[in-house]
C-alpha cells in the first residue's frame, strides 16, 4: 500500500515535471544570503523586469539570463514550485549549483529562514547532486523549490512569504519570481531547492505523454510454434 505522503510526493513530482517541461557548487544549507544581501523587492515590477512576461526572451537583463516560475502544486501540506532559467543572451552561460532564494513578507521585509540545498528534511526524490551545466543561447535549466505548511508549535508564529527573489548562484543578481500563491512555511523555518538541471529540449512538451510501447506478441525468449504441427 502506498502511504499518503508518498502518494503526495508522486503527485507533486509529476505536476512539477509537467510544469517544467512546459515552460558555485557545494551541498549543504544556507540562510538566504546569496552574496547579495536581501533587499526589498519592488512593490510593482515594471514590465521590463517582471519574471511573468509571456516572452522570457524579451528585454534580456544584463546578466544574460531570465528566471521565472513555471507554476506550483500542493498536496497534504507539501508544496513544490517549478523554476526555469533561460539563457536569453548571445553567449554560453554556465551553472554549477543551486538557485539562491530570498523570501519576503507582505510588507516586503526579508524573512530569515534556512534554505536547504536539496529536499532533505522536507521530502525525498530531489537530492540529485549539482552538475556543471552549460546553456547555449535559448537553452534552459530548471529547479524545484520545496516546503511544507506544517505547524508543530502553537507558541511559534507561522511564517507566510508573499514574494520570492531567485538568483542563479551566490553573488549574482536575482529576479523577482511569481511564487504562485503564499509561501506558507508554517513554523518550520526552512525551504528547500533542488540543483539546476538542464532541460532536454526547449521545445514545448506534448499535451499528452506518448503511450508506452506495446509488448511483443511473442516473447523473444520463446520460440514460435512449429506451423507444421
**For the segment 16-75, what is each residue's pLDDT rounded down to a tens digit?**
444 444 333 333 444 443 334 444 544 433 333 344 444 545 689 999 999 999 999 887
Mean pLDDT of 203-208: 43
Does 160 have pLDDT greater than 50?
A: yes
Class of domain 28-36+49-198: mainly beta
Give burial (CB, 10 Å; 0-12/13-18/19+) of 64: middle
Q: Point out the least confidently predicted range of 46-50, 106-110, 224-228.
A: 46-50
Q: Which of 33-37, 57-61, 157-161, 220-224 has the highest mean pLDDT?
A: 157-161
Q: Point out the least confidently predicted range of 17-31, 104-118, 120-134, 186-200.
A: 17-31
Residues 100, 178: Cα–Cα separation, whole Å: 15
First to last CA, the chain: 47
Does 167 have pLDDT greater than 90?
A: yes
Percent share of the chain, pLDDT over 90: 51
Does 15 have pLDDT greater than 50?
A: no
Does 107 have pLDDT greater than 50?
A: yes
- Give the pLDDT confidence of 135-149 residue by residue, as tens digits: 999 999 999 999 999
Q: What is the structure's pLDDT at 58?
A: 61
Mean pLDDT of 151-159: 87
> Is residue 97 within 8 Å of 130, Cβ to Cβ?
yes
Q: What is the structure's pLDDT at 19?
A: 41
Higher pLDDT, 132 or 26: 132
Residues 198, 24: Cα–Cα separation, whole Å: 16
Give burial (CB, 10 Å; 0-12/13-18/19+) of 17: middle
Question: What's this model's pTM, rounded to 2 decimal places?
Answer: 0.67
Q: What is the structure's pLDDT at 13?
A: 52
Phi, psi torsion values for 164, nearest 5 degrees: -135, 130
Higher pLDDT, 154 or 195: 195
Amino acid at each position: 500500500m502506498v502511504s499518503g505522503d508518498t502518494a503526495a510526493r508522486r503527485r507533486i513530482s509529476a505536476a512539477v515535471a509537467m510544469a517544467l517541461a512546459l515552460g558555485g557548487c557545494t551541498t549543504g544549507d544556507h540562510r538566504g544570503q546569496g552574496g547579495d544581501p536581501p533587499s526589498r523587492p519592488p512593490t510593482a515590477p515594471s514590465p521590463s523586469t517582471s519574471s511573468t512576461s509571456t516572452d522570457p526572451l524579451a528585454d534580456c537583463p544584463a546578466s544574460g539570463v531570465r528566471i521565472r516560475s513555471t507554476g506550483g502544486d500542493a498536496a497534504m501540506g507539501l508544496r513544490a514550485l517549478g523554476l526555469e532559467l533561460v539563457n536569453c543572451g548571445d553567449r554560453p552561460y554556465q551553472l554549477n549549483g543551486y538557485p539562491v532564494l530570498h523570501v519576503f513578507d507582505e510588507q516586503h521585509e526579508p524573512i530569515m529562514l534556512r534554505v536547504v540545498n536539496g529536499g532533505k528534511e522536507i521530502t525525498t526524490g530531489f537530492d540529485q547532486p549539482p552538475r556543471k551545466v552549460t546553456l547555449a543561447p535559448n537553452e534552459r535549466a530548471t529547479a524545484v523549490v520545496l516546503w511544507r505548511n506544517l505547524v508543530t508549535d502553537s507558541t511559534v508564529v507561522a511564517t507566510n512569504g508573499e514574494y520570492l527573489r531567485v538568483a542563479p548562484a551566490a553573488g549574482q543578481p536575482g529576479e523577482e519570481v511569481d511564487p504562485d500563491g503564499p509561501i506558507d512555511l508554517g513554523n518550520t523555518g526552512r525551504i528547500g531547492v533542488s540543483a539546476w538541471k538542464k532541460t532536454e529540449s526547449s521545445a514545448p512538451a506534448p499535451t499528452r505523454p506518448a503511450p508506452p510501447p506495446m509488448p511483443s506478441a511473442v516473447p523473444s525468449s520463446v520460440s514460435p510454434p512449429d506451423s507444421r504441427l
